[in-house]
Amino acid sequence: MRVLVCVKRVPAPGSRINISPDQLNVDTAHLGFTTSPHEECALEEAAQIIEQHGGTVTVLTAGPTEAEEQLRYAASVGGTDFVLIPNNSGGDWDPERTANAITQAINKLEAEDGQFDLIMFGNESADAGGFQVGVRVAVALDRPIVNGIKGIEINDRVFTARREVDTGVEVYQLEAPAVLGVREGINLPRYPTMKGRLASKKAEIAIAPIEVHAGGQNKVRLHRPEERVTETNVLGESAAAAARVVDLLDELGVL
Amino acid sequence: MMGEILVFVEHDQGQLSPSAGEALTAARELGERLSQKTAAVLVGQAAEGLGTMCAEYGVQLAYCLTSPVLSDYGPETWGQAIVELANQCSPSVILSVGTDRGNEVLAQVAARLGAPFAANSTVVQRGDAWEITRVQWGGSLLEDIVVDSELLIASYNHHSIEPAFFPGDNEIEVRTVGVELDPTLGRTVIRDRVTLTEGVTLSTASVVVSGGRGVGSADGFAQLEELADLLGGRVGCSRAVTNNGWRSHADQVGQTGTRIAPEIYIACGISGAIQHWVGAMASKNILAINTDREANMVTKAGYAVIADLHEVIPAVIEEVKRRRS
Ligand SMILES: Cc1cc2nc3c(=O)[nH]c(=O)nc-3n(C[C@H](O)[C@H](O)[C@H](O)COP(=O)(O)OP(=O)(O)OC[C@H]3O[C@@H](n4cnc5c(N)ncnc54)[C@H](O)[C@@H]3O)c2cc1C
């Protein structure tokens, strides 16, 4: 099974997200970075798939040179091949441009080494949350795609994919080659092992520069939604506060 | 001369989605603002009867798209059906609400038309170009964008529009439009459904008792379970907890978990990282139980107890039982 997972490097802010002085990006001066959570799960799913069925997991990202960090992490948790599409513009590409670059990269990778049976994206990126890159790539490649997937079973060349809705689960069946948008919760991603850390050091990262035009969505500025200022009523500093807590529950009518 | 505003009205096998009112209200309001006609888009024969419900929101025209491959939901068939309609009526705007389906279908439409797509918008304005505000980081940040396209394809952020009925005797014309679709697109139509009959869920519970890393272990949640049961509520958790394997991801509150809106959210040993907060901020009241007075969860909560949760929770359980007996 040849699997491709597309991941995004995103900042990992704590209690507040600060905005850069030019208002175009998140101020990452004091932040670490991580792989967007849905994609981390997509990668885990891919690793489990090749453990069961054999094959390779290619991990691809479009991002700054530093996104190598996320590809190396991927190497420590089951990725086998790594591709970086450099974008050193200092900010994200718009969704059309990102999708276009990824599509071109996939075409090149497939021309060299054969078709991917399964391509996985995260349902949406944690930061920009555009909800479209995977769909655009799938449409460009004329492959089936379903988003919001929280369960995948493989039978022959058919992927049975499950999506949670309010009332239960929707079941889809996609024939390879297929594309899936995966959600956090589909699995519990593993932590790197010693062996994984070694693989991470040795991983070779292919750099795939791609020329793409900007799409139609132009960022003007980032800003913060109005914040609600709350006066915190401290009910107590020990277990003795229980009586006041229960008074509160009673007042709210939930007792 | 600009065309009409099309609004995708979500339904499941003819059952109108709760988000439909938001979509229709937003579309009617935009139509009034831009002096343009608004039309509801109902996909599939099963939706034909939904016209009268659309009328209640003041929309006067609906297109019902029909084809044998539109019998049940499929992102590709539904997307392509709307593309066929757009090719016939050249709309100026295609709208939806940013639910799973709302975003998925419009992403399909945008990809197929080669147009931009602004997901989860909160403000849509037409100046010299389309000026949109949309959410990033699940609602922690807003982004102003300019969309460089005659046709605007956008979803409204779910729950950011208050649905409003339109007074008056509301008539609607439902036009059935047969669309030719490539049957191979049926490849992503729903094959099966599993219905889960659950009572109160995390997203509908009036009390949520949630635990974070401060709970310390999977076993530590027994106390939270007991309190939630006593109050007819549900147990939630932070991502630190799911990552540790203490609870299933189904219990996770936050940006990549569930968004909750209970009468009271009791957050125990949770620091209140921004990605957790966006899932909890719609709670009507928040009680933080934390040893750290400076924790974000505490400073943002209306009520707090600054103490060890393992001492406070059992005491609260006892007190509830005492008052009830
Ligand atoms: C892209 C992205 C998406 C994310 N999505 C989510 C999400 O959906 N949901 C989510 O929750 N997180 C999410 N996170 C993770 C988030 O950033 C935090 O890491 C996480 O919420 C922290 O969980 P916590 O508050 O339980 O742990 P911590 O931050 O470690 O906080 C533990 C708290 O417990 C308190 N405490 C410790 N012991 C006790 C005690 N005995 N009694 C009382 N209090 C005690 C401490 O004072 C502290 O405040 C996401 C992160 C990223 C990067």
Q: What is the pLDDT of residues B67-100, one digit of tens each?
A: 999 999 999 999 999 999 999 999 999 999 999 9
Element (H, E) at A81: strand A81-86
Chain mean position to CA A53: 23
Per-residue confidence band for A227, with pLDDT thresholds at 50, 70 and 90: confident
The answer to the question of residue B293 being in a domain is: yes
Q: Which range marks the domain in which residue B170 is found?
A: 5-188
In chain B, what residues touch A174 (CB-CB under 8 Å)? 187-188
Q: Can you tell me the distance from the alpha carbon of B187 to that of A172, in angstroms, rounded to the nearest whole number? A: 9
The pLDDT value recorded for residue B1 is 39
Domain residue ranges of chain A, discontinuous segments joined by +: 2-251
Q: E strand or H helix at B234, and its extent? A: strand B234-237
AA letter at B283:
S
Overall residue count recorded for chain B in this entry: 325
Chain A neighbors of B190, CB-CB under 8 A: 170-172
Residue nearest to atom 53 of ligand 1 (CA): A12
Q: Is A13 on the interface with B (CB under 8 A)?
A: yes
The whole-angstrom distance between residue A18's C-alpha and the CA centroid of its chain comes to 21
How far is C-alpha B200 from the geometric centre of its chain's CA atoms?
18
What's the pLDDT at B168? 85
Distance CA B78, CA B88 (A): 16
Write down the pLDDT at residue B236: 98
Whether residue B148 sits in one domain with residue B227: no
Q: Do A216 and B143 touch (CB under 8 A)?
A: no
Q: How far apart, in whole angstroms, are the C-alpha atoms of residue A23 and residue A29?
A: 14
* C-alpha–C-alpha distance, residues B241 and B213, integer Å: 6
Q: Are residues B111 and B255 in the same domain?
A: no
Average pLDDT over residues A246-252: 98
**Using one digit for the tens of pLDDT, what is the confidence trace for A48-69?**
999 999 999 999 999 999 999 9
Same domain assignment for residues B221 and B295: yes
Which residues of A fall within a CB distance of 8 Å from B271?
15
B152 & B233 share domain? no
* Residue B254, in any domain of the structure: yes
Which residue's structure tokens are 């995390």? B202
pTM of the predicted protein model = 0.95
> Is any atom of ligand 1 closer than 6 Å to the C-beta of A115?
no
Give the whole-angstrom CA distance, residue B192 versus residue A172.
7
How much is the pLDDT for B2?
A: 63
Count of structural domains within chain B = 2
**Residue A180 pLDDT more than 60?**
yes
The answer to whether position B66 is within a domain reads yes
Closest partner CB to B316 (pick from A26, A169, A245): A245
Each residue's pLDDT tens digit, B108-148: 999 999 999 999 999 999 999 999 999 999 999 999 999 99
CATH architecture, range A2-251: 3-Layer(aba) Sandwich (3.40)
Contact B315 A242 (CB under 8 A): yes
Q: Is the pLDDT of residue B248 over 50?
A: yes
The answer to whether the CB of B213 is under 6 A from ligand 1 is yes
Indicate yes or no: CB of B287 within 8 angstroms of CB of A245: yes
Q: How far is A127 from chain B (nearest CA, A)?
A: 5
In this structure, are residues A250 and A130 in contact, taking their beta carbons and an 8 Å threshold? no
Greater pLDDT, B197 or A10 = A10
Same domain, B308 and B276: yes
The closest CB to that of A236, out of B142, B271, B305, belongs to: B305
Mean pLDDT estimate for chain B: 96
A126 lines ligand 1 (CB under 6 A): yes
Q: What is the pLDDT of residues B58-69, one digit of tens each?
A: 999 999 999 999
Confidence of residue B196 (pLDDT cuts 50, 70, 90): confident
- Tell me what pLDDT residue A228 has: 79
Query: Does the distance separating the beta carbons of A171 and B143 come in below 8 Å?
Result: no
